[in-house]
A and B are shown apart, each in its own frame.
Chain A
Amino acid sequence: MASAPSKLYADDVSLVVVLLDTNPFFWSSSSLSFSQFLSHVLAFFNAILTLNQLNQVVVIATGYNSCDYIFDSASDLNRSFENGRMPVMSSSLLQKLEEFLIKDEQLSKEEPEGRIKSSLFLGSLSMALCYIQRVFRSGALHPHPRILCLQGSPDGPEQYVAIMNAIFSAQRSEVPIDSCYIGAQNSAFLQQASYITGGVHHKPQNLDGLFQYLMTIFATDLHSRSFIHLPKPVGVDFRASCFCHKNTIDMGYVCSVCLSIFCKHHKKCSTCGSVFGQAQSEAASASDKKRKTPET
């Protein structure tokens, strides 16, 4: 897909919208502690801002119950949080983050049931896309935005449909989505997002050097990507989740009208309402059988 890498960027100004994963359940059981993570990440933000005078960083926190903007480097409200020990911007970010966490906690309803739940990645992705649309329509000269996802929580299959829609709209607006996954398993959503939109996906092996990963790979602006080689994943996990139970499946039934995926045979498509014909035999059934083999 001819997207970010092939588009001609006149200069190397970047506007990075960062989606920061603040899912407390994940962080409480991660090998990397949240404070270490924050120090890597905050240094990274500062580095981006020093690369070019016009660079801009916007941070959206992906919480467990809600998402919110917590930092915008272009705004003037950063002056009020003075703290001698770190740059001003970082301290304001931390302050906002704390407030966000308090709000998020208040929204929690029930006790967790066991597995680590996924964060509301979908919500923050949508907020990022809305922000970017606003930038597009602002009319003034703006750098071409990209989205950087720092995710650790596992994928929530129930968010599959909406995330795919968001990814396609990002593809349509030619906004590359970079993703750095610091969790334990693989995230199919992030891989697909980066693949489709022309961004770069990486899963760091060594989390102590997270800052180095961020600087080497994710600090590259879009113009430089035409001549700086970035690591590519060997394959992309294209598994989908079924629309009825939100399970991840690799073989299922596809409605030939609206292309929704189901894990077992249904009489009627729940998305578009079209009625499926009778299955004639086991082998030759009226609705297609599709096999998706992961290429990894």
Chain B
Amino acid sequence: MHLLNLILQTSSFGVFTSSRLFFPLRLPATFSFALQIFPSRSTISFSHYNIHKTMASGLVTKRAKYKTTIKDPGTPGHLRMTLEKILFMPHNPKSAGKLDVEFRYIKGQKHTKEGSNKPPWLNLTNNQNGSFIFEFENYSDLQDCRDFVGKVLAKSGEVSEKPTVAYPDEQLSAAEMELRIKLLQEDSELQKLHKQFVLSGVLTEAEFWATRKKLLDREASKKMKQRLGFKSAMVSDIKPSTDGRTNKVTFNLTPEIILQIFAEKPAVHRAFLSYVPNKMSERNFWTKYFRAEYLHSTKNSIAAAAEAAEDEELAVFLKQDDILASEARKKIRRVDPTLDMEADEGDDYTHLPDHGIFRDGNKEMTESQNELYKRTLSQDINRHAAVVLEGRAVDAEFEDTKAVAEALAQSKRESSNKGESDGDTSRERLDRLSRMTEIEDLQGSNNLPLAPLCIKDPRDYFDSQQANALRTSGDALGGTEQIKCSLSILEVYSSLRESISSIKAMGWKEPIVKPEAAHQVFDALTNSISNTKHNIGKNPQESVLDRLPRKTKEELLHIWTSILELLKHFWASYPITTSYLYAKVNRLKDAMSNIYPQLEEIKGSVPSEFRHQVSLLVRPMHQALDAAIQHYEASMQKRSTQSGEKPNGYV
């Protein structure tokens, strides 16, 4: 007796649906299988099952005793936990142990260990450092409650990061919110800005995100799902599990695997659609299928033929796949002759065993009955590879086999319909063929209408503008000295040439440079070099920021980005047309005024050698803020003079 040596295959953990089919396999001498189908959503361990169940329903109810302190014997009753709150109802309505606490106030939990001798207690601590102790009947109850509380606490931790203010005029979908939260979590700078402005009420959510649409869009597009293809591992290698005691072999089939089987073996698909549920149950179908697989694997074609003769359904699985054959033939016919001149009927071999090559040099194809039931490994591998490369035709997840089969059939029908509306495509093909068979050298010249080349006149940059520049250049460089040159060209050139002749005649000036002048220059240069090295640093491109202490640098940068944010919104709200904008501008102005003291603080906190640099850096910030506030005040004045209002306090 030899049992097949097989490995247990488990489905993944509770999230995907799985239907389990179990085959008990007896000894090879007597072949019979039994199928066992489990309901979906079965998982491995019991406690995790509970979690999924409870999280799905959001409710846990257990019998427990409520103790206010450890010494307290405890009031027996029912403990009921929902996602929002904890409710304890004592059995005895007259006793005082009723408890109704919201999860918001629960800070943490403690519990007694399972292995110790202590009774199963769960201790929930709340914000005010009080505690609620519950004693359970057994540890598994404690476990459930503990997990539930843990999950709720974890969830509530996330909730606090969501923006707390929801504006009624802004319809946000859950997906939008998720995107925003994700962005905030990823970018700490953004989060800081968000916290600073939105949570303090200076800017609203909508305004904050209005300027960041591009970021949100990018995040959204990242979430586009990619279609998963089939696995490269061959499905026919499904290893069943053996049960040594009962001599049963169990195959697990998920809809995923079933989809792949149907994609690779269209004859099986067709058989499924026609036989199930009319002629046989699904279980029988798969039993026969795996029986056929087993026969193939033994490579015993005589036995296969024998069994096929007995059982016609089994025969379907054992025979060659005729659908494949016809498809292959169709494909050959559709090959574009311009691509592959040599493809012809003789290339139709993928569905033949051994690719039509016979080991013993025998060129004839003797179709004995046994030949029909042979299938070679290369056939299988090629077919599998072809299916994987074609990709997945159907995308959704399925609950059961019937749905899979139908979806696949549907998609096949669609694609064949598309193929049949071929009148146009065949004409296209003929067109293309006729174009490709032309020989270009023998054609006449093809005078396509040429578009005239249009180059922007480069003289725009150089010559023609020079006249303009000369005309207007008188007042262009404002503030610079304008040395008038009143000599004529002749004079000027002649004076230059005179200099040259003089130097030619007299030679160089002796000495070329006076020692005092040289000394002075040298001194000045060395002083300035050492000074600038001290002040600025060796590299002219090195930024002043890098030499500041890190904290200062970060603060400065953060203040700068917040100034930018505020200014962006400020300038965008002008001209003020609605009262909403008016209020917004007021808020922004207040926020901007608050930045001045922050800047002063930074300037004060910096060690003295950097103070000058920092004040230089801070200057443009001041300028920008000043400009904005000036503009604000000017527009306020204009408004008040226009509307004739008297300012506050003015009688």
Contact = CB atoms under 8 A, between A and B. Distances in A.
A and B physically associate: yes
A29 B481 CA distance: 13
A248 interface: yes
Given A116-B483, A211-B513, A38 B521 contact: no
Interface string B489-523: 11111011101111111111100111001101110
A76 interface: no
B1 interface: no
Contact of A293 (B497, B501, B620): B620
B500 A35 contact: yes
A86 B497 CA distance: 18
Interface in B460-500: 460-462, 465-466, 468-470, 472-474, 476-477, 480-485, 487-493, 495-497, 499-500
A79 interface: no
B593 interface: no
**Which of B503, B522, B528 has the largest number of chain A CB atoms within 10 A?**
B503
A243 B460 CA distance: 9
A271 interface: yes
Contacts of A22: 496
Contacts of B462: 158, 162
A113 B469 CA distance: 12
A161 interface: yes
B507 A248 contact: no
B473 A206 contact: no
A85 interface: yes
A120 to B, nearest CB: 11
Nearest to B504: A94
A158 B462 CA distance: 7
B636 interface: no
B529 A245 contact: no
Interface stretch (A12-20, A51-59, A277-285): A277-285
A114 B538 CA distance: 42
Given A115-B484, A116-B485, A216 B506 contact: no
B533 interface: yes
A83 B504 contact: yes
Contacts of A112: 485, 488-489
A265 B284 CA distance: 81
B524 interface: yes
B483 A34 contact: no
B469 A195 contact: no
B525 interface: yes
Contacts of B491: 28
A40 B574 contact: no
A213 interface: yes
Contact of B503 (A25, A94, A114, A204): A94
Interface in A98-114: 98, 101-102, 104-105, 108, 111-114
**Which of A34, A98, A161 has the largest number of chain B CB atoms within 10 A?**
A34
A172 interface: no
A22 B61 CA distance: 98
B300 to A, nearest CB: 74
B484 A213 contact: no
Interface in A68-126: 83, 85-86, 90-91, 94, 97-98, 101-102, 104-105, 108, 111-116
B485 A115 contact: yes
A245 B489 contact: no
Contacts of B499: 27, 33-35, 38
Nearest to A204: B521
B39 interface: no
Nearest to B527: A231
Interface residues of B, number: 66
A42 interface: yes
B456 interface: yes
A224 interface: no
B529 A282 contact: no
Contacts of B280: none
A229 B456 contact: no
B473 A212 contact: no
Nearest to B454: A273
Given A35-B500, A284-B571, A208 B517 contact: yes
Given A34-B499, A39-B508, A209 B476 contact: no
B381 to A, nearest CB: 54
Nearest to B477: A248
A173 interface: no
Contact of B492 (A28, A83, A243, A283): A28
A210 B518 CA distance: 8
Contact of A108 (B461, B489, B525, B572): B489
Contacts of B490: 105
Contacts of A39: 503, 508-509, 512
Nearest to B525: A216
B513 A111 contact: no
B536 interface: yes
B525 A217 contact: yes
B575 A282 contact: yes
A176 to B, nearest CB: 12
A28 B512 contact: no
Interface in B6-28: none
A240 B156 CA distance: 56
A157 B473 contact: yes
Nearest to A213: B521
A182 B521 CA distance: 15
Given A184-B483, A284-B572, A209 B532 contact: no
A287 interface: no
A229 B168 CA distance: 64
B508 A97 contact: no
A156 interface: yes
B607 interface: no
B500 A101 contact: yes
A43 interface: yes
A270 interface: yes
Contact of B473 (A5, A115, A234): A115
A266 interface: no
B460 to A, nearest CB: 6
A38 B488 CA distance: 23
A115 B482 contact: yes
A231 B532 contact: yes
A138 interface: no
Contacts of B496: 22, 24, 27-28, 34, 101
**Which of B489, B528, B540, B541 has the largest number of chain A CB atoms within 10 A?**
B540
Nearest to B493: A105
Given A39-B509, A162-B461, A25 B528 contact: no
Nearest to A271: B456
Given A39-B509, A98-B497, A212-B517, A28 B485 contact: yes
A158 B465 contact: yes
Contacts of A245: 465, 468-469, 472
Contacts of A157: 469, 473, 476
Nearest to A34: B499
B110 to A, nearest CB: 58
Contacts of A211: 512-513, 518
Contacts of B502: 35
Interface in A243-296: 243, 245-248, 270-271, 273, 281-284, 293
A35 B460 CA distance: 38
Contacts of B489: 24, 105, 108, 111-112
29 contacts: A24-B492, A25-B485, A25-B487, A25-B492, A28-B492, A28-B495, A33-B499, A34-B499, A35-B500, A85-B506, A86-B507, A94-B503, A98-B501, A115-B485, A156-B469, A157-B476, A162-B462, A204-B521, A208-B513, A208-B517, A209-B517, A209-B518, A216-B521, A217-B525, A229-B529, A229-B538, A246-B469, A247-B469, A283-B572
Given A43-B508, A108-B489, 9 more contacts: A25-B485, A35-B499, A35-B503, A86-B507, A101-B497, A185-B480, A195-B540, A205-B524, A230-B529
10 closest A-B pairs by beta carbon, nearest first, are A85-B507, A209-B521, A34-B499, A24-B492, A209-B517, A35-B499, A212-B521, A212-B518, A211-B513, A105-B493
